[in-house]
Structure 1
């Protein structure tokens, strides 16, 4: 039986990058200098942003940006602490120091900064100058999730799933799917289909989640719906509908759907008119999309065709010899 597909590679926000906060209002520059000297954290932070803005214009002001972010952070300005961490992490104005970077990111994250929590998660996910720790990455993404970052809900759920912490994964998939993250809906559907993560097996619920994901443009989920229609799981069996959805998913580069549709055309399954050439084309498309099963099916089909042609030539040779006699 074909496996239902989890999305295990798409982490929506691009969790491999780091973020520094840098919105700035130039009109407040003079006032900010004065207020920062008087100890106002927001003004020190704004002044740091000004120097950061200048550094983006090739003016060497990372040092001043660092000083002002540090002043603001010392007064518990969360975003300033994130920016100090970023500058430490990248060796801007100061020596690169991952230990200090983590310390400041953590201070910011503990004050509920989504940016800082995601930066910490990304450090541990990538193993960037620290030991790779997917569970710790999941925990920081989960904290961002609790603070309202829906894509982090999906990211944390994916990592919890990879670490076999299925119940935590279910919690964050639910949050993310409820906010229309369609990748999360697909994965939550697989949990319901298989009764994973403390969930009771519920094929109808799985179908509805796949349907929501598919309607949102996730063609992996469309492939999963086609599988359910094909086998009558959670919905009345409807092979015609399954073939239609496999075709649509394949047209949108879902490689598993191309392989399955190609198999129908090769074998004439479900009374579908066989079409060997189209079957080969679909297997090739699947293979070109990186699907090893598609590559294997294509090679098997080529071998079968070559064997059939070889046998045909052999039969023709025998017939010719018999005719001469």
Structure 2
């Protein structure tokens, strides 16, 4: 049967049939990829976030479907489809998604375990968080590579309250969990840039300009600045732009 999607009643019939199809594939055929589609359908079409949360959670718990672990982690973080937000519940599902090799789950778990500041209820564990971020970057998540580069740019102090971002000389004697390492920072920033991260490209440009972690090269600095600008324009137009490729 074909539908005329310009007609409102046929659009409604199409979406209802889609829901029936997804429910059958999930509950009768027990296909985890279809269960995830059902949760997406409940979220995007029905706007029933509570039911969507239930399906994402069970699909992660029962079928180990990594993308559903990520989605339920996001729901727990925001308090969507739930009575309240729960950062530790979110971390639990991001960690499971990461164990199932979802790079974005690894990114979120890593950020949560290494972040500091007000509103954070998760117990800080920088070594564990670092490993999650590295796994994400190794799987080519540009944000994870950029985040790791930032950790090496400034270092990660054992006690964040001792760190003085405005006077680096005062940081010489504090204990670091990850010491500043400009060569590592450059390597990770370059990878993040090659994966299309605007901010990583901007950092590569600045590091070439200053000679931080790489031999000073003003021509390369200018080139990476232009790459960052091109990526920014692609982002503003809403088009996907790959590294060093023009808009189609």
TM-score normalised by the shorter chain: which range applies?
Answer: 0.5 to 0.7
Which sections of structure 2, spanning at least 5 residues, go unmatched?
A: 158-175, 218-248
Name the structure 1 match of 2:150.
263
After superposition, the Cα gap between the structure-2 partners of 1:143 and 1:184, relative to the gap in structure 1 and judged at 3 Å, is same
Partner of 1:275: 181
- Could you tell me which runs of 5 or more consecutive residues in structure 1 were left unpaired when the two chains were aligned: 1-84, 86-97, 103-123, 125-129, 311-325
Distance 1:134 1:151, change over 3 A: farther
- The correspondence of residues 1-325 of structure 1 with structure 2, limited to 5 A, is 98-99=2-3, 139=19, 140-147=21-28, 148-162=30-44, 164-178=47-61, 179-231=63-115, 233=120, 235-270=122-157, 271=176, 272-305=178-211
Q: Is the 8 A contact 1:255 1:289 kept in 2?
A: yes
Q: Tell me by how many angstroms 1:309 deviates.
A: 6.0
Query: What CA deviation, in whole Å up to 9, does each residue of 1:264-295 have, x standing for no partner?
Result: 11222433322223222212212222333433
Aligned mates of 2:18, 2:93 — CA distance in 1: 23
Q: Distance in 2 between matches of 1:219 and 1:192?
A: 18
How far apart are the structure 1 equivalents of 2:17 and 2:190?
Answer: 37
Query: How far, CA to CA, are the matches of 2:11 and 2:196 in structure 1?
Result: 30
Q: What corresponds to 2:241 in structure 1?
A: none
Q: Aligned equivalents of 2:182 and 2:27: distance in 1?
A: 52
Contact 1:246 1:257 in 2 (8 A): yes
Q: Give the Cα separation in 1 of the matches to 2:70 and 2:109.
A: 10
Q: 1:132 to 1:239 in 2, by over 3 A?
A: farther
Give the number of equivalent residue pairs.
185
Task: Flag the 1:203–1:275 CA change in 2: closer, same or farther, 3 A.
Answer: same
- TM-fit CA distance, 1:138: 6.1
TM-score, normalisation: structure 1:
0.48
Measure the CA separation in 1 of the matches of 2:69 and 2:196.
Answer: 24
Q: Please, what is the CA RMSD of the aligned residues? A: 3.4
* TM-aligned CA deviation for residue 237 of structure 1: 0.9
Corresponding residue for residue 57 of structure 1? none
Larger Rg: 1
Q: Scaled by the length of structure 2, what TM-score is found?
A: 0.61
Q: Return the offset for 1:204.
A: 1.8
Distance apart, 1:262 and its partner CA: 0.5
* 1:36-62 C-alpha deviation (Å, 9 max, x unpaired): xxxxxxxxxxxxxxxxxxxxxxxxxxx
Q: Offset of 1:135 from its aligned partner?
A: 5.7
